[in-house]
Amino acid sequence: FFVLLFSMSSISREKFLKFLQTLEFMWGINIIKETKPPSAVQPGVNPPLEMYPRPEKWSEVESAVAETKKAFSKAGIPVEDIKKAKEIILRLPADYLFAEGSCIPNKQYLPLLKKVCDILKKLHAPIRIEGHTDNKPIYRYPKIVDNWDLSLLRTIYVAKYFIRWGFPEDKISVAGYADTQPVAPNTTPEGRAKNRRIDIVIFVGAEKI
């Protein structure tokens, strides 16, 4: 109220501002607020840069997946692709890539795996190689004790080949799930064959609108 009465009196703007500054100092409150109209970016000042990687375009990843499927199709190997919210899964049947109970890729299919690596590394997108098995018990001492060992060791060997072929180490990870994520019933040979697989998860991200 005192400030209101004081402001109604005839006083210069400079003296009034000085008075308010005194009140601010004594009462510890913020009275004076200078506002400036919004202005465009000043000449010679660059706008702030985005410090995060640009999400890969879906069209680029889909094209790479189609190229990979075409290469495997020529070799007579069926390959699936599964699209999710921010990723595409490239599903490879493990029975072609590995002998039964083995974690080392078959040499005859290494050129195909290298083809996959060469295609995916052009995307500059992170990937995760996932191993899956059926529920048939396995025991091959000392390296492979169960399906957990088998599923993980298979992905490790594939990842090591990818890194040898030039895929960036900081953009690749591995995971082994044994028989915990079946895509078909394990009650038939056909279902178990579908569950024995290597999934290459390509993280696409979201398109900017």
pLDDT in tens, 99-128: 999 999 999 999 999 999 999 999 999 999
Residue 44 main-chain phi, psi, to 5 deg: 85, -5
Beta bridge partner(s), residue 175: 130
Task: Give the C-alpha distances (Å, rounded to integers) separating 166 from 69, 90, 122, 147, 195.
Answer: 21, 19, 10, 29, 29
Res 73: pLDDT: 93
Q: Which residue has the higher pLDDT, 56 or 2?
A: 2
Does the pLDDT value for residue 5 go beyond 80?
no
Average pLDDT score over the chain: 84
**Structure tokens, 202:** 């390509």
Q: How far is CA 192 from CA 52, 133, 152, in A?
A: 41, 8, 18
Identify the weakest region by mean pLDDT among 42-56, 153-167, 173-187.
Answer: 42-56
Provide the 10 A C-beta neighbour count for residue 7: 11
Q: Is the pLDDT of residue 21 over 80?
A: no
Give the whole-number percent of the chain exceeding pLDDT 90: 65
DSSP H or E stretch at residue 113: helix 110-120
Please indicate whether residue 28 or residue 76 has the higher confidence score (pLDDT).
76
Lowest mean pLDDT among 51-65, 160-174, 177-191: 51-65
Say what the pLDDT of residue 144 is.
Answer: 93
Q: What is the mean pLDDT of residues 162-190?
A: 97
- Confidence (pLDDT) at 141: 81
Q: Is the pLDDT of residue 189 over 90?
A: yes
Q: Which residues contact 119 (CB under 8 A, 6 or more apart)?
A: 64, 67, 68
Q: What average pLDDT does range 134-146 have in this prediction?
A: 90
Q: What is the rounded distance in angstroms from the CA atom of residue 148 to the CA atom of residue 177?
A: 6
- In this prediction, residue 56 carries a pLDDT of 45
